[in-house]
Copies of this chain bind each other. A is one copy, B any other.
């Protein structure tokens, strides 16, 4: 199954006094990657709202903090669908520290010698709601078509 990757740079705003990325901020990184993943699939959340009156909300997260990210780290945040239900879907997301900007990242022949390091792993369940009632609502068909068969 397709695994989407999105680059995130760590800025001062992301760190805390311990010198590491504040634990809540990885959830921001993960949502940026989810937003860009949907955009790559052709779905803008603004369009989902306007055309389908559909909101996507987070219902559950589980996050393992393995190693900390620090200021200036270049991160890759992945997003991979793991299951799709009628009115919700689940993704697995990893935050990985890379040592080169993503442009060179896939270049096997480059001189990079430092391996990627897994920092954070999360599982997120998202639900689709009817914007007008905030009640659970089927995933709109065009979105369902795409995430059902992402490859």
Given A15-B16, A17-B71, A35-B12, also A60-B61 (CB < 8 A): no
Closest to A72 in B: B46
Q: Chain A interface: which size bin? A: 35 or more
27 A-B pairs whose Cβ atoms sit less than 8 Å apart in the complex:
A9-B32, A11-B31, A12-B16, A12-B17, A12-B18, A12-B31, A13-B31, A15-B16, A16-B16, A16-B17, A17-B20, A19-B19, A20-B57, A24-B24, A24-B27, A24-B28, A44-B72, A46-B71, A59-B64, A59-B65, A60-B62, A60-B63, A60-B65, A61-B61, A61-B62, A62-B62, A62-B63
Told that A23-B61, A60-B65 touch, could you supply 11 new A-B pairs with CB distance under 8 A?
A11-B31, A11-B32, A17-B70, A23-B27, A23-B31, A24-B24, A24-B28, A27-B27, A45-B71, A60-B64, A61-B63
Residue ranges of A at the interface with B (Cβ–Cβ < 8 Å): 9, 11-13, 15-20, 22-25, 27-28, 31-32, 35, 44-46, 55, 57-65, 68, 70-72
Q: How far is the CA of A61 from the CA of B68 in the complex (A)?
A: 15
A93 smallest CB distance to B (angstroms): 13
In the assembly, what is the distance between CA of A149 and CA of B5, in Å?
38
Most buried by B among A13, A31, A62, A65: A13
How far, in Å, is A142 (CB) from chain B's closest CB?
Answer: 18
